[in-house]
Chain A
Amino acid sequence: MPGNKSKTVDNRQLQHIFELWSAMKKQLLYYLLVCFSSALVAQSSGWVFFTDKQHSALPDTYFDDYAKARKDRLAIAYPAASDLPVSDFYLSSVVRVADTVWGASRWLNAAAITATPAQWAEIARLPFVKETFLQSTGTHLTHRAQEWPPLSDSDSVLLAYQTRRLGVRHWQQAGITGKGVRVGVVDGGFKGVDVHPSFAHLREEGRILATYDFLRQDSSVYGYSSHGTAVLSCIAGRYGDSMLIGVAPEVEVVLARTEYGIRENIQEELAWIQAIEWMDRFGVSIINASLGYTNKRYFQEEMDGRTSPIVRAANQAVQKGILIVNSSGNEGDGSWGTLGTPADGDSVLTVGATNPYTDIATSFSSPGPTADRRLKPNVTAPGIVVGATPKGMGETAGTSFSSPLVAGFAACLLQSRPALTPIALLRAVEEAGHLYPYYDYHHGYGVPIASKALGRHTVDTSSFIIQPSGEYININVNEAYLPERDDEDRLLSPPKHLYYHIADTDGNLRQYRVIAAVEEEAYFIEKEQLQPGDILRVHFEGVTKTYTAP
């Protein structure tokens, strides 16, 4: 019988197992030993934060004259304690213990190192070490790979749209082009910027002030990735004599390479922080960073604006008079599902992407809120654009390109109102959002538009009404704002968007929607959806109205 046979085999098998185990265990144990020993000596990268700076000093020439003037204008004291370099004694003490010290950040008063667990433990015991922060690696340039075709008719339309959507015409009419404002760009490389015709005006007028590759420690950044090429073009690039790629063609720029692209390690985050510290020396007022760190290094609950070293540095930038403009990320339709860091910083201007064909958020644009429920993104801008490539021009997509469009917008705003502090500038960009004061976690305050920033924007408050009636709250749209129809009742023009959200008493959103308004009775909401004190906020054609639940 099969059962009996199996039993016999089992007993003999067991004996055989032990015999074979004896024969192969030496080999297997050797393998296990190799694996274990590699685990035991495995190195981890991270940050060492120091208690103070001892007696370090700063040479008077550290900041250039433009930077000093900017700090004077914004009443920022310099040199501040955070401008002083990290103590040489502290650094050399860490060097003696750690395997590798990648470098230091004066703003964070910290060093980035790689060390074994035993070395980390020894470093943590040093009397001048305030905190250690171990982390893994992994970053995303927030660019979605896409074929970049040569500029076609449809690309021409798209190119014209991306600046028109931000109302560049109004900036131009006011003579505002970003002139006199210094903008920093940190990215993975700026391949072709030194020869591409879209940047000829920057090169010929000496408005590329400085470049530095913080990964290779040299001044050339015109190789490696072309991501920064497209990003820079969306700030200050031109196409031909008459078309703009970005809204601020006359800014002065400082370029830094801080991202490897494929290879990821702690040097990148250190390079990013060192780059913005370096840009402060040139009086940079705005820095665009089209990158973010997500699941490889962090958890979603750590997107709280205070956990990652990079967001701590971004928050410090504000105290130095610098506004960081950061893409929200392309994780809207990914497993991460929310924004990365430093987009979670409360003093970072976080930019999401809209689809130019629908004018609502793209599915890939990372939505907010932050883990501590703050509003993010702050604003949005077109995320499918035409930008400069090393070989010409092409369509590309990602919040990477929404961010520089807004960075250019912020530069124009700063030119028009130079006394703005970074936080005031951030608020001014938000207030220029086409939805402001309405907001949601996909659009923030909407796409900033120049006419609003310049106070030239007029709205018709009769475009819609909120009308509570019985069990419902009706939203009725003025007939003049409805799309035209033909005799067969087909729509002849695209309907306008009606936005609504339901917010609790703290302003946190419970629900939000975007509706295509095609009838006078555009939408209705059941009153039972609202809790006492909840605010129903509705936006249509530049007008925001509210209803508070009793």
Chain B
Amino acid sequence: MKKLATLFVLICLFAFVAPAQTVLLDVDKVDTTYSKFGPNRKHFVHLYFSYGLIFGKNNEGAKTRVPGSNDFKIGLRYKYKISELLSLGVEANYGNHTFDFRQEEGKVIVDTTLHDEEEIIMHYLEPTLFLRFNIGERGNSIGRFIDFGAGLPIRLVASHFTQNELPTGEVQTVTTSRLSYVQSYYAHAFARIGFNNLAFFYQYRFTDFFTNAVDYPALPAMTMGIQLGIH
């Protein structure tokens, strides 16, 4: 049932002096038409959070650490139901993709200097497109699903961050932005498997993170983690 205007007004009656018409319960429209918006209706929009760890082949000179290397995003997801089995969706995300570099001999990113901590962080806006296969019968809920999709994170800001403890005991941090050697975008494909609010995802970046202006080794391309839908 959908009530366009259902309003409870539970008020302290004694606070009102001579109120001729104090409405305690008001339902001014009763109908039994149902929304086209909902988890298993034609349209559905919801917020979600995603957190994943970046891993994969650690090339010599560009070895990263987990969980320091991670990807976090917050996004808005729209799902259009084509059938009980199939839906199409788009997402708009803000996120950051962080590589936490191991500090050991042979490191070349971004140079050979060793630090206590060293990271490259890319903040991005990302549109994605996905196809959702639902499994099993369900009511007006998301249910079990498998998604396949692709995304295109577009750089907002990329920063290089180092942290060192000086002989004086002070901690020195240096952040360098506007990194010319980080691509302005990259592309990735992903698969998700989930149930209602929770999904596990696997994502593979299939473009370079660095531009061809530098000769850095490739960075790990895989991310695996969880997503939490807010609905």
Contact = CB atoms under 8 A, between A and B. Distances in A.
Instruction: Tell me if chain B binds chain A.
Output: yes
A13 B28 contact: no
A511 B144 contact: no
Q: Which of B14, B21, B221 has the most CB of A within 10 A?
A: B21
A91 B39 CA distance: 36
A360 B24 contact: yes
Nearest to B212: A12
B8 A300 contact: no
Which secondary structure dominates chain B's binding surface? loop
A192 B204 CA distance: 53
Interface in B1-40: 1-3, 6, 8, 10, 13-14, 16-30, 32, 34, 38-40
B144 A138 contact: no
B140 A300 contact: yes
Contacts of B159: none
A511 B28 contact: yes
A519 B20 CA distance: 6
B24 A368 contact: no
A546 interface: no
Given A138-B139, A363-B8, A491-B14, A513 B23 contact: yes
Contact of A510 (B30, B183, B204, B208): B30
Contacts of B135: 39, 42
A12 B183 CA distance: 12
Nearest to A355: B10
Contacts of B16: 518
Interface stretch (A14-22, A205-213, A267-275): A14-22
Contacts, number: 169
Interface stretch (B74-82, B89-97, B164-172, B186-194): B186-194
A521 B21 CA distance: 9
A445 to B, nearest CB: 16
Nearest to A440: B27
Interface residues of B, number: 54
A302 B183 CA distance: 52
Size band of the interface chain A makes with B: 35 or more
Contact of A136 (B32, B136, B187, B208): B136
Contacts of B34: 299-301
B34 to A, nearest CB: 5
Given A136-B139, A511-B28, A337 B193 contact: no
A351 B208 CA distance: 62
Interface string A311-343: 000000000000000000000000111100000
Contacts of B40: 299
B191 A31 contact: yes
A490 interface: yes
A45 B144 CA distance: 13
A20 B16 CA distance: 73
A518 B136 CA distance: 55
B148 interface: yes
A420 B14 CA distance: 45
Nearest to A133: B137
B208 A13 contact: yes
Given A35-B146, A35-B193, A515 B22 contact: yes
B161 interface: no
A298 B39 CA distance: 12
Given A17-B206, A24-B221, A301-B34, A515 B141 contact: no
A119 interface: no
Interface in A119-155: 134-136, 138
Interface in A351-398: 355, 358, 360-361, 363, 367-369, 371-373
A95 interface: no
Nearest to A509: B30
B191 A494 contact: no
A495 B20 CA distance: 11
Nearest to B35: A300
Given A138-B141, A295-B141, A369-B32, 13 more contacts: A20-B207, A35-B146, A45-B136, A296-B139, A335-B38, A367-B27, A372-B32, A442-B27, A511-B27, A511-B29, A514-B25, A518-B13, A518-B20
Interface of B: 1-3, 6, 8, 10, 13-14, 16-30, 32, 34, 38-40, 133, 135-141, 143-144, 146, 148, 183-184, 187, 189, 191, 193, 202, 204, 206-208, 211-212, 221
23 contacts: A9-B211, A17-B187, A20-B207, A28-B189, A32-B148, A32-B191, A35-B146, A35-B148, A46-B137, A134-B136, A136-B136, A136-B141, A295-B141, A300-B140, A302-B139, A335-B38, A360-B25, A367-B3, A442-B27, A494-B13, A510-B29, A511-B28, A514-B26
